[in-house]
Structure 1
Amino acid sequence: MKPAAFEYARPADLAEACALLGELGDAAMPVAGGQSLVPMMSLRLTGFETLLDISRLDALKVVRDEETHVFIGAAVTHAMIEDGKVPDPAFGLMARVASKIAYRAVRNMGTIGGSVGLADPASDWPCCLLALGAEVVLAGAEGERVLGAGGFFLGPYETARDPAEIITGFRIPKLSAGARWGTFKVARKSGAFSDSLAIAVLTAEGEARVALTGTLDHAQLLPGASAALAAGDLAAVREAARAEVAQADPDADAYRLRCHVATVTRAAEEALTMEPRR
């Protein structure tokens, strides 16, 4: 199939892009790599009157290694993160996550901002950003706005982004020396979206965050499993995950429930047994 007819616009800079979005509202959608959005439009699962090509905006390709954070621009590709061409604030976690996204051809074009903006429930970056306690930076006609990842993802393909805003990048806290992490993903075949993806982060200060996505309606933190991970109790992680998954995915059948509990447990186990990163 082919997408319905649409207009194409390529703004010269971020200010023009924000102005166009403010004028067109819900009828327009920014697109960079287009690796998820364009196939969905071709299948007529979604559609927009205008696509705004923001792939060439330099403001979205900025990367800054700051004292406590790394800022990664929204137009940075999965492949750039996988290949270590941008700083990894999590001692290799982001490179690992990037390497498991789809196929290399997709990773060469797809962007972290596009993945987060689309907010597919089974995509990888929302789960990763939640586990790392990242912030989403947005730009609009009224200026810049910063939201914690926990308040950004609202539901399937639904975020707190205003239609007149563009995601410009992400502020990701640097893990301190001694941090550990683990991740585990289940997909029907290599390169497919996840049925279940869990990411566990254990800081050197003893704080823990466990995030889960897949068949949930959006990526979510599991506070019970996170507390159990901080205590170093893998059995308690499993029990907490069982209760929290049942609440987060109430329509889950027995397989889905076991799958989610298993990915959370495996991710937590890797975090607990990993040599501290430095």
Structure 2
Amino acid sequence: MKAAKFAYTRVFDVDEAIEVLAKAGGTAKAMSGSQSFGPMLNLRLARPAQVVDVANIPALRAVSRKGEWVEIGAAVTHAEIEDGVYPPLATHPMRQVAGGIAYRAIRSRGTVGGSLAHADPAADWVVTLAALGARIVLRSPRGERTIEADGLMLGAYTTVLEADELIVAIHVPSETPTTRWGYHKVCRKPGEFAEASAAVYFDVSRKRARVVLGAADGPPILLNEFAAEVASKGAQAAGRDKVSAAVGLALPDRDGIDRKLFTACVERALEQSDVFSNHKLAE
């Protein structure tokens, strides 16, 4: 199939993009890397009257360090993060995640902001940024607002974004000497969508403890009580029975095989993070 007819507009300024989206009255869609949106157009699952290409807006292609945070432009590609193109992300945990997203051809065009706006439950950035406690910056004719990454998705392929609103930046915490991070996903074969995933993030200097499940058919699921137990009690709170119990509470309607997949993801993410190398994780 081919896409239904639409008008195409390429913009080079955020304000111009927002103006075009606003004038369209809900009939226009922003497009960046087009790796998810393009197939949806071709399958006619999306039929916008106008497509607004924001991939070449300079402000959306920058990365900078701002205090304890790193600001990532929404049009930065997965491959650029993977390759360490931007110094503030050269040693960041996001590099590890970026290298495992789909295939290199996809990573070369797909963008962080586009992935978030698409809101596929199995997407890597959805669960990763929720675990990091990232903040998403949105802009519209009404101004700018910032939301928590774990509050962006309402459901599969559904977000809090308004029709005239654009993701312009993502703020992630910079790494510290006490950052402990892990991410693991289960795919049928490399490059395919995840059947289950989990991300963990601990940083005693910032008093942060996050364990998040992804690929659960909806928004990422935060295991806050379990994360707090791991942070305060260490390895004794992260035995297989404890992990399995936490996953079971979060996914009560899943069958035993699914719960085992998610349990394995959490266990391997924790192991990868080396979080238990510190005798004291929380104060």
**Alignment TM-score, normalising by the size of structure 1:** 0.91
1:259 to 258, 261, 268: 261
Would the aligned equivalents of 2:150 and 2:219 in 1 still touch at CA under 8 Å?
A: no
In 2, the alpha carbon distance for the partners of 1:108 and 1:274 equals 35
How far is 1:239 from its partner?
Answer: 4.4
Deviations 1:73-116 (A, max 9, x none): 00000001001112456943100100000011110100001001
Would the aligned equivalents of 2:37 and 2:118 in 1 still touch at CA under 8 Å?
A: yes
How far is 1:240 from its partner?
Answer: 5.0
How far is 1:125 from its partner?
Answer: 0.5
Report what 1:79 is aligned to.
79
Q: CA RMSD in A?
A: 2.1
SS, match of residue 208 in structure 1: strand
How far is 1:257 from its partner?
Answer: 1.2
What is the correspondence of 1:1-278 to structure 2 with a 5 Å cutoff?
A: 1-88=1-88, 91-205=91-205, 206-234=207-235, 236-237=237-238, 238-239=240-241, 241-272=243-274
Instruction: Structure 2: state its 5+ residue gaps.
Output: 279-283
Whichever residue aligns with residue 210 of structure 2, its letter is: R
In 1, the alpha carbon distance for the partners of 2:18 and 2:166 equals 7
In 2, the alpha carbon distance for the partners of 1:72 and 1:210 equals 23
How far is 1:275 from its partner?
Answer: 6.5
Would the aligned equivalents of 1:27 and 1:48 in 2 still touch at CA under 8 Å?
A: yes
Deviations 1:143-199 (A, max 9, x none): 211111122222111111111111001111223212211111111111011111111
In 2, the alpha carbon distance for the partners of 1:232 and 1:265 equals 16
Whichever residue aligns with residue 41 of structure 1, its letter is: L
Would the aligned equivalents of 1:122 and 1:218 in 2 still touch at CA under 8 Å?
A: no
Whichever residue aligns with residue 261 of structure 1, its letter is: T
Distance 1:89 1:235, change over 3 A: farther
Would the aligned equivalents of 1:77 and 1:110 in 2 still touch at CA under 8 Å?
A: yes
Distance 1:274 1:181, change over 3 A: farther
In the alignment of these two chains, the number of paired residues is 276
How far is 1:247 from its partner?
Answer: 4.7
Deviations 1:32-70 (A, max 9, x none): 110011112222333322111111111211211122111
**Alignment TM-score, normalising by the size of structure 2:** 0.90
In 2, the alpha carbon distance for the partners of 1:37 and 1:247 equals 34
How far is 1:274 from its partner?
Answer: 7.5
SS, match of residue 26 in structure 1: coil
Distance 1:15 1:175, change over 3 A: same
